[in-house]
Amino acid sequence: MQVTWRDIRAARNTYAALSAACEVAGYDLVPSDSSTGGIICYSLNSINEPRLRSEIRDAPGITIVGGPHASACYREVAEYADYVIVGEGERTLPRLLDAIRTGSSGRIPGVATKDGYTPVDHTVLLDAYPCFSRIKGYLEISRGCPHACAYCQTPRLFGNRMRHRGIDAIAASAAHISDARFVTPNALAYGSDGRRPRLDKVEALFRRLKKNRIWFGTFPSEVRPEWVTDEALDLICTYTAGRKIHFGGQSGSDRILSMIRRGHTRSDVEVAVDRAVSHGLLPIVDMIVGFPGESEEDLGMTIDLIRQITRYGKVHLHYFMPLPGTPLASSTPVQLPASAEKIFGSLALSGRLTGYWTEPERRFLNPTGDTEEI
């Protein structure tokens, strides 16, 4: 049975993962740039949801909606969509398609409708489904995150326990591509519980993929700053092709870092930058401004850290955006003073800073109104 997948740029990783899972179950997800009849699937984030809401409501066929926004706000989305998949979809979507095809009227775990929600009854085992490198040149090696950062949807969507794809499965998918790039919330946490590193597992992965050019610790497989040790960097420099390492610093204020539950300090970021540079790697650090409750002093500390980082590396800057389902969902961002915008603009002109720090929506939107990969 053919099923249409609404092609949304921000959801192409989701499409790649679910297409592989549906193919195993005998369903073909066919991408389309508009709504169609029959069955059509959407994956929504908080930026594209308002733009696509009326399209979904008026769609001529059966609508199935998932993604981070739909998972967090499933009651709201169920008011205009026929079905809402809450959380991971590899098992839930094929089960729902089976029910639609056979006319079954029973409730399906992980699916919400106007009539209610049946909680999910399973955890997705990554090795049960193919990597999605056939459609996208990334290998998803891990899911879940034990670090419950107050602004982040990842642990709310994928759980707070890390799950890893086995090396055999990763190698099987990597055999079809030359460059091995990974999707994971923390690349250095591969094979671990997400709190204590297992660099032996990381090295085993590298050794198995020796025929590939390995890109590791860069988007979309960043690392955490406190995991940037000399031993970890030695592995990266020995086995991988990249000469950059990307990690999240988020704020230069220890008070803000504690408030958002990052689990690391400013000093951890500074040490990670120094270690990366000493190993000949370019550090790229994610930072966020406008957190709720961010004072002038907090912002000043963040600006100071950004200046420090950009002496040796680069910063990717974001303006805080409250996301549904997170502890900070109802928070209001703090407006940036013009003086801060001027500093960031100057650093951007020098090529040392990228991102958007005044209009968070532009982080996701291109001139056509479609969304960028995030």
Residue 138, CA distances (Å) to 17, 53, 65, 178 in order: 10, 30, 24, 11
For the chain, the average pLDDT equals 92
What does each C-alpha distance from 237 to 156, 227, 242, 245, 290 come to in angstroms? 33, 15, 8, 10, 35
- So what's the pLDDT on residue 134? 67
Among candidates 112, 110, 107, which has minimal Cα distance to 122? 110
| In this structure, CATH architecture of domain 2-118 | 3-Layer(aba) Sandwich (3.40)
What percentage of residues in the chain have a pLDDT greater than 70?
95
Using one digit for the tens of pLDDT, what is the confidence trace for 89-105? Answer: 999 999 999 999 999 86
131 — pLDDT class (breaks 50, 70, 90) = confident
CATH H superfamily, domain 126-363: tm_1862 like domain (3.80.30.20)
Look-up: residue for tokens 């000493």? Answer: 278
Domain ranges of the chain: 2-118, 126-363
Kindly report, residue by residue over 205-262, the tens digit of the pLDDT: 999 999 999 999 988 889 999 999 999 999 999 999 999 999 999 999 999 999 999 9
| CATH topology match: 2-118 vs 126-363 | no
Average pLDDT over residues 295-299: 98
Indicate the pLDDT class of residue 360, thresholds 50, 70 and 90: low
pLDDT single digits (tens) 342-358: 999 999 999 999 998 87
